[in-house]
A and B are shown apart, each in its own frame.
Chain A
Amino acid sequence: MNANTESMARTGKLKIGMYWAASCGGCDISLLEIGPHILELAAAADVVLWPCAADFKYRDVAAYPDQYIDLCFFNGGVRNSEQEEIARLLRRKSKTLVAYGACATDGGIPALANTTTVESIFAASYLDSPSLDNPARVQPQPITACEFGELQIPHFYRHVLRLADIVEVDYQIPGCPPQAERVWTAILALVAGELPARNRAVKVACTDKAVCDECPREKRKVRIKEFRRPHQALAEPGWCLLEQGFICMGPATRSGCGALCINANLPCRGCYGPSGAVTDQGVAMIGALGSILDASTEERARELIDQIVDPVGTFYRFTMASSDLRGSR
């Protein structure tokens, strides 16, 4: 136990919560990735809500006094009415509410659904998928009448929203998932009160710079001659992936991960969201790519651009809900 967690323990046990909304569960796992620190955390803090790991009910949370939870992590975007309700409840019950992970911060992968419609999502999930056996073509309904009365399930929204679209957020920890060592450092800083003012959704457990800043690869100042995807060719280690024609989101992406994918010889996917200098990660990447194409004629530029498969899904893979346009028309 270090000095910070000791002071946590002395001043009465901290109450922490972790909630999941429209997410995959990876954020919950990533919190466990702090390894042995989890024991320090358990010694200094009580878990008062963690659907993934402990059996607390919503009514338990509703019964807590306001501001009862000292530190509440919220992972996942807001996709339905249940998630919105809990987001509002947790805001009321928490002193510090942290958007944890790419989905809560920028929409994440689920927010790519903002490029399509609810109708087509439901058709794909319940009607058209080849693995389905649904001859009656049943789809979930918000309200179903049965012999005991009406059954209700949460309403599905037309858009995936970030946590900050719903409630005031104190801090945001980006990443898919956030990297454990940095999360632990941030938890210590949060507990010690060493972080900037609340209610500003300031991004913590990361830096303001771009991933390129912590990328160890060599830049040879060559321009992109051809775009390639990771399954089409093996990247040469040690050389800038963008210069090799792999779309690496490094220039537009916030650093903090330690260039994890890049060190595994794979291009950055952009999970930490826009770097400190930009607000819209996708257009920032378009701007960056535009200045490094090996093209001196319009035809050649167009030829190269046409090689890019799925620009929206590539440039906005994790940030559709925080982009300027927020989704498709």
Chain B
Amino acid sequence: MAETHAVQRSSMAPAEAWEPRIIAFLCYWCSYTGADNAGTARLKYPPNVDIIRVMCSGRIDPEFVTTAFAHGADGVMVLGCHIGDCHYIAGNHKTMARMPLLKRTLVDLGMEPERFVHEWVSAAEGEKFARLVRDVTEQVRRLGPLDWPQRLVQRGVGTGMGREAWGH
């Protein structure tokens, strides 16, 4: 790593107007089409999710998830084709191993497990997609803001002088 990490402030509104901000990584062939399906069927779901489309859930590097949290996301969703349905045959087999391991790591780092959701959504499951977005938004709302960038600033990362020393 050449340069120091820039700590970005999350673009959250003040606390009283806080809304959960959730980043969702969706595979192109099933889950994104499933989200499209929800739209076509005019299913209602909260607007708190920013969708990022990737070609395959196997393309979702676990670093995408940590980067999202480190830059201020309150929750992250990873959605892919059901096992056996992968357009690339076994792309989601990698997802199926990586995401639970990533979740264990995040939980060990003190993050609530409800903030990171990994699920399978087929192209026909618009209903499931809308329900997941509703559920995840609500469970993250109950937990409140994560605000990892602010936490890093409090711990003195990326701020230079003036960090809070222990015992003061």
Contacts and interface: CB of A to CB of B under 8 A. Distances in A.
Nearest to A155: B165
Nearest to B67: A324
B75 to A, nearest CB: 14
A201 B167 contact: no
B16 interface: no
Interface stretch (B23-31, B134-142, B156-164): B156-164
A251 B67 CA distance: 20
Contacts of B155: 158-159, 326-327
A329 B94 contact: no
Contact of B101 (A274, A278, A289): A289
Contacts of B61: 283-284, 287
B9 interface: no
Contacts of A165: 4, 156-158
B100 A325 contact: no
Interface stretch (A58-66, A123-131, A176-184, A304-312): A304-312
A141 B168 CA distance: 10
A166 interface: yes
Interface residues of B, number: 48
Contacts of B69: 324-325
Nearest to B7: A326
A247 to B, nearest CB: 11
Interface in A227-245: none
Given A279-B63, A283-B66, A325-B69, A81 B165 contact: yes
Contact of B167 (A156, A279, A315): A156
Contacts of A325: 66, 69-70, 109, 148
Given A142-B167, A295-B93, A305 B100 contact: yes
Contact of A286 (B1, B62, B83): B62
A298 interface: yes
Contacts of B44: none
Nearest to B91: A291
Contacts of A323: 66
Interface in B114-166: 146, 148, 151-152, 154-158, 160-161, 163-166
User: Is chain A's interface secondary structure helix, strand, loop, or mixed overall?
Assistant: mixed
Contacts of B146: 329
A286 B98 contact: yes
Nearest to A140: B167
A117 to B, nearest CB: 9
A200 B148 CA distance: 26
Interface string A133-147: 000000001110000
A297 interface: yes
Most chain A CB within a 10 A radius of its CB, from B58, B96, B99, B154: B96
A273 B5 CA distance: 15
A295 B97 contact: yes
B87 interface: no
The 5 residue pairs across chains A and B that have the minimum distance between CB atoms: A290-B98, A329-B110, A155-B165, A324-B66, A283-B62
Given A287-B98, A322-B1, 17 more contacts: A142-B166, A155-B166, A159-B157, A161-B156, A274-B1, A279-B63, A280-B63, A283-B65, A286-B102, A290-B94, A291-B94, A298-B96, A301-B100, A302-B100, A312-B108, A312-B109, A325-B70
16 contacts: A115-B109, A142-B168, A159-B163, A273-B1, A278-B63, A279-B63, A282-B105, A290-B101, A305-B100, A310-B108, A311-B104, A322-B5, A325-B109, A326-B155, A328-B110, A329-B110
